């Protein structure tokens, strides 16, 4: 499962970020998941819970915020949020567009620790 690799990379990223800091445990990791990131929320949560955890991550909670797809239309210079499905289409004029502003990324936004 692809999400296992993602969960592992989250742990690695956070570990290296907190290296050399005097931390007892990581409480929460806040992640934003774009609808087109290719990562499924439920699967990622499950994968995260399956990770063999070092002491630091023993009780860590993963908070996942999902981010909708936002596209930009060159014709009417507007951004639209795609609510239904993944059709890359402007909500104002109906033209198709391939300019994606948001929704394909997976980012670690915040980490809380003790």
Q: Residue 28, class by beta-carbon neighbours within 10 Å (0-12 exposed, 13-18 middle, 19+ buried)?
A: middle
Instruction: Based on the shown chain and the rule CB under 5 A, indicate whether residue 67 belongs to the binding site for Zn ion.
Output: no
Least Å from the CB of residue 93 to Zn ion: 3
90-94, long-range: CB < 8 A, 24+ apart: none
Judged by CB under 5 A, which of 10, 69, 90, 111 binds Zn ion? 90
Binding residue for Zn ion, selected from 6, 10, 44, 73, defined by CB under 5 A: 73
The reply on whether position 44 binds Zn ion by CB under 5 A is no
Q: Does 1 interact with Zn ion (rule: CB under 5 A)?
A: no
Neighbour tally for 66: CB within 10 Å = 12
Binding site for Zn ion (CB under 5 A): 73, 75-76, 90, 92-93, 95
């Amino acid at each position: 499962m692809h999400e296992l690799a993602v969960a592992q990379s989250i742990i690695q990223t956070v570990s290296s970020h907190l290296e050399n800091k005097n931390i007892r445990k990581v409480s929460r990791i806040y992640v934003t998941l774009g609808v087109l990131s290719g990562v499924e929320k439920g699967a990622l949560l499950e994968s995260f819970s399956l990770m063999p955890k070092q002491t630091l991550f023993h009780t860590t909670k993963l908070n996942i915020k999902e981010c909708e797809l936002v596209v930009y239309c060159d014709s009417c210079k507007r951004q639209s949020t795609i609510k239904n499905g993944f059709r890359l289409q402007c909500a104002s004029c109906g033209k198709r567009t391939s300019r994606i502003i948001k929704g394909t990324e997976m980012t670690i936004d915040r980490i809380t620790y003790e």
